[in-house]
Amino acid sequence: MVGFLNNNNRKAAVAGQFYPGSRTELNEQLRELFQNAAPRLLEKEQIQALISPHAGYVFSGEVAASAFQQIPETQSYKRVFVLASSHQYSFKGASVFCKGNYETPLGEVKVDIKLAKQILESSEVFVNKPEAHETEHSLEVQLPFLQYKLGDNFKLIPIILGTNGAEACKKIAEALQDYFTSENLFVISTDFSHYPDYENATEIDNKTADAICSNNP
């Protein structure tokens, strides 16, 4: 049973399942994934948000690495907001984790606990539901990519969405809008299509990507 141990840190729950469980093996796999990832598309552009899949690294790790590869080598962030969908619990709004830090085989990812608590108290759309984080993979699998790319030079705001309702998601976005600045990075964890065949998935995912990029849902 995964628990909040070591000063209420959120322990790694899917290490050894979705990605390697040892520091050495994880670093090696990340090195290979970034080596095979797509190059930067916009060399001079600053990255404020990216979308990354959250399946096991053997399935979607190269795509995820291609997303994080878009971050310029010289860019740094004060905070990284990771918004991830809940696979274990359904609830209204979004759960902000503010009990401790997250852990992976690469070490601790420090949570900006003070700001996380402020966000939690800022709107009724945010809830204190730490159990939504405890075994959830969709947020955890993003963290080794961030650690590999950015080191420990950022603080994390971990948010699990318990709903995919359009109105609720709009309220969450509005509540976080003030933090969408050049000093912060937003990572949206989503797999897009799961089950359609390749031809349909390609068509649907391209339309979804176009809708996101054009801000025209």
User: Per residue, what are the HEC states of 4-67?
Assistant: EECCCEECCCCECCCECCCHHHHHHHHHHHHHHCCCCCCCCCCCCEEEECCCCHHHHHHHHHHH
Does 191 score more than 50 pLDDT?
A: yes
In which band, very low, low, confident or very high, does the pLDDT at 30 lie, cut at 50, 70 and 90? very high
Q: What is the pLDDT of residue 7?
A: 67
Contact status, residue 104 vs residue 15, Cβ threshold 8 Å: yes
Flag the least confident range among 16-20, 30-34, 160-164, 193-197.
Answer: 193-197
Mean pLDDT of 68-95: 95
Q: What is the pLDDT of residue 44?
A: 76
Q: Which amino acid is at 66?
A: S
- Compute the distance between CA of residue 137 and CA of residue 92 in angstroms, rounded to an integer: 19
User: Quick one: tokens of 209?
Assistant: 């990507």
Name residue 82's beta-bridge partners.
158, 187
Question: In this predicted model, what pLDDT tens digit does every residue of 41-64 receive, in sequence order?
Answer: 987 788 999 999 999 999 999 999
- Compute the distance between CA of residue 21 and CA of residue 35 in angstroms, rounded to an integer: 20
Asked whether the CA dihedral 91, 94, 98, 100 is positive or negative, the reply is: positive
Predicted TM-score (pTM) of this structure: 0.94
Contact status, residue 98 vs residue 120, Cβ threshold 8 Å: yes
Contact status, residue 89 vs residue 120, Cβ threshold 8 Å: no
